[in-house]
Amino acid sequence: MHYLDDSLLPENQEKLVIQVAPYAPGFLPGDSDDIPVTMDEQIQKAVDCYNAGAQVLHVHVREADGYGS
């Protein structure tokens, strides 16, 4: 394909919103070493997602034992 009308330039593209759900309630901390449980871990995960380009974060709150709240 040839785009000769500058449609691929960022300033000419439609706005894009990236939504991320980095962990689901079905996953437990033992399933991966990257599942945040504490508030500080969840905040850090949100910051990491934002820094990677996400604008919307879908969060599942967890109890201290890692299970969904």
Report pLDDT digits (tens) over 9-29.
878 888 889 999 877 777 877
Q: Could you list the residue range(s) of the whole structural domain that residue 23 is in?
A: 1-69
Question: CA-based angle 55:33:57, to the nearest 5?
Answer: 15
What mean pLDDT is reported for the chain? 83
Mean predicted confidence (pLDDT) in 39-50: 90
Dihedral (C-alpha) 58, 63, 64, 66: value to the nearest 10 degrees?
-70
> In the prediction, which pLDDT does 55 show?
92
Which pair of structure tokens corresponds to residue 16? 């894009």
> In the prediction, which pLDDT does 12 show?
83
> In the prediction, which pLDDT does 54 show?
93
Residue 20, helix vs strand vs coil:
strand
Q: pTM for the complete prediction? A: 0.68
Q: Per the structure, how many domains does the chain have?
A: 1
